Amino acid sequence: MQDPFSNAMAQLDKVAKIKNFDNDIIARLRQPNRDIKVSIPVVMDDGTLKIYEGYRVEYNNVLGPYKGGIRYHASTNISEVKALAFWMSLKCAVIGIPMGGGKGGITVNPKVLSKTELEKLSRGWVQKLSDIIGPRKDVPAPDVNTTGEIMAWMADEYEKITGDKTGAVITGKPIENGGSLGRDTATAQGGFFAFEALKEQLGLNKKCNVAIQGFGNAGANAAEIWQSAGHNIVAVSDSKSGVYNPDGLDVEKLMQFKKDSGAVSGFIQNGVAVKSISNEELLETDCDLLIPAAFENVITEENADKIKARVILELANGPITSAADLILFNKNIVVIPDVLANSGGVAVSYFEWDQNLKNEHWTHDEVFEKLQPMMAESANKVFETAKNSNTDLRMGAFILAIERIEQNL
C-alpha cells in the first residue's frame, strides 16, 4: 500500500506545479511543526502490563489552534497520522475556520479491549500529552474507532490534570458533557450540503444511484441522509464485505440488521437475500455517486480504471491516491475531495469549541443553519478556483487553502 504521507506530498508537489506558489510556503507545508510519539502503559484486566504507542502530530497552526481527531487502529502509525494532520490543515483552511491542522492516534485494535482497558488507554493518552493539547493550543476530536464516550473520558482527564472546566480542549463530546447538537451526523451532512451545492454543475440534479464504502459514523449517516433526500442507495459495505441491490436498499432496516448481526452481509430485504459483494466490487459498482467513507488508499492505479461512478465524494480521508486521481480525471470522473467533502465534521467541532468557550448551547437548527452556507460557499469557491486554474476539484481546494494559509503567515 502506498504510504499515506507520500500520497499527501505527491498532492502537494502537484499543486506546486499547477499554481506556481512561492517555494517557501510549499517548503513550510512539507513537514509538521512537530510530531510526538508517546508510550502509554496500561494494566490490563488480567493484571499484565501492555505498552501502547500513541501519537500527536501538530502540523500547522497559522490559522489557529491545531485541530483534528484521534484514530485508534491496529495499523495506525506516525506516517499515517502525519498525512491526516496535513489534510486537516488544508481542510480547516478550505472552509475558512480559525483552526490549524493536527491529528492523533494510538496503534491498537480497540475492539479487543474491555471498556475499562479502553478508558485507561484513552486517559493515558491525555496524561502523556496534557501539556501539548489545550483549548487555545491543540484541540483533538474523534476519528476512526473513537467515540463520544472516549472524548468524554479524555475531557475529564484533562480537567483533572489542568483544572480547565470549559471542555473546549476536545470536541465530539456527548451532549451531556458539553458536546454540540449535530456533531454526530455533521461529516455526512456537510458532505451532503457540498453535494447539493455542486450537483447541478456535475450533472447530478436527479435521483441518483449511490454506492457507499464504509458503514461507520460517516457512511451509515450518509446512507440515511442521501436516502431521505430521495436517492437510491444501491450498495454499501463494511470492513468485511458489502451488499448490492440495484432497486435500492432499505437503509433503516439494514442499519438494524448490522446492529444485530455485526455485518451488512446476509441482509434480507422483503424476504429476499440481498446479493453479497466484496469491497472491491463495491468500488466498481455502476452508479452516479460513489462515496468512499472508510480508509485511505482504496482507489489506486490498480482499480481506478474500473471505476464506473460519475462522481466520487470522499467522506474518508485520503481514499484516492495521486496516481488514481489522474486516471479518474482522464476518465472525466469528478472527485469532490476529502478536504472539502468531509469537512462538515471539523466545522461542527469548531462550533462545539466556540460554544464551550462562550458557554452557549446552540439548537440543532442553529448548527445546521451555520453549516449549510459554510459548506455551500466553500464548495462553490473550490469549483470556481478549479475552473480558473483548469484543474480538478482537489487541486482547486488545495489552491484555495494554501492561499489562505499564505495570506496569514
Considering only residues 158-197, where is the footprint of ligand GLU by CB under 6 A?
171-172
What is the SS3 assignment for 26? helix
Distance CA 290, CA 304 (A): 12
Q: Does 76 bind ligand GLU (CB under 6 A)?
A: no
Please name every residue paired with 39 in a beta bridge, in sequence order, or none if there are none.
Answer: 53
Q: How many residues bind ligand GLU (CB under 6 A)?
A: 12
Q: Where is 328: in which H helix or E strand?
A: helix 322-330
Q: Give the nearest residue (CB) to ligand GLU.
A: 69
Least Å distance, CB 367 to ligand GLU, is 13
In whole angstroms, the minimum distance from the beta carbon of 39 to ligand GLU comes to 23
Q: Is 317 in the site for ligand GLU (CB under 6 A)?
A: yes
Please choose, from the candidates 397, 355, 372, the residue with its C-alpha nearest in 3D space to the C-alpha of residue 15: 397
Nearer to ligand GLU, 190 or 242 (CB): 190
| CA 219 to chain CA mean position, Å | 11
Q: Which H or E run includes 354?
A: helix 344-358
Question: Please, which residue, 265 or 355, has the CB nearer to ligand GLU?
Answer: 355
Q: Which of 4, 54, 69, 100 binds ligand GLU (CB under 6 A)?
A: 69
The verdict on 68 binding ligand GLU (CB under 6 A) reads: yes
Shortest distance (Å) from residue 103 CB to ligand GLU: 8
Residue 398 near residue 405 (C-beta atoms within 8 A): no
CB-CB contact of 283 with 307 (8 Å): yes
Catalytic residue among 103, 120, 173, 258: 103
Residue 275: name the closest of 211, 202, 205 by CA: 211
Is residue 346 close enough to count as binding ligand GLU by CB under 6 A?
yes
141 forms part of the interface with ligand GLU (CB under 6 A): yes
- 103 labelled catalytic: yes
Minimum Å gap between C-beta 277 and ligand GLU is: 27
Q: How far is the CB of 320 from ligand GLU (least distance, A)?
A: 16
Chosen residue from 7, 57, 58, 67 binding ligand GLU by CB under 6 A: 67
Considering only the stretches 208-216, 328-336, 341-349, 372-380, report the one whose residues sit in contact with ligand GLU under the rule CB under 6 A: 341-349
Place of cell 493550543: 137
178 vs 345, which CB is nearer to ligand GLU?
Answer: 345
**Which residues within the stretch 347-366 sit at the binding site for ligand GLU (CB under 6 A)?**
349
* Residue written as grid cell 455485526: 262
Radius of gyration of the chain (CA): 20
The x, y and z cell numbers of residue 168, run together, are 473546549
Query: Who's near 267: CB < 8 A, 6+ residues apart?
Result: 243, 249, 253, 254, 257, 273, 274
Which residues 121-140 are close enough to bind ligand GLU by CB under 6 A? none
Task: Show the cell assigned to 2.
Answer: 502506498
- Nearer Cβ to ligand GLU (142/242): 142
On whether the CB atoms of residues 158 and 85 are closer than 8 A, the answer is no
Taking the least distance from each CB to ligand GLU, the nearer of 70 and 324 is 70
Distances (CA, A) of 408 to 100, 129, 340: 11, 27, 20
Closest by CA to 91, choosing from 10, 194, 221, 212, is: 194
In the bound state with ligand GLU, the residue whose beta carbon lies nearer, of 133 and 208, is: 133
Q: Which one of 190-198, 250-258, 338-346, 380-388 is the stretch in contact with ligand GLU (CB under 6 A)?
A: 338-346
- Residue numbers at the binding site for ligand GLU (CB under 6 A): 67-69, 141, 143, 171-172, 317, 342, 345-346, 349
Q: Please list the active-site residues.
A: 103
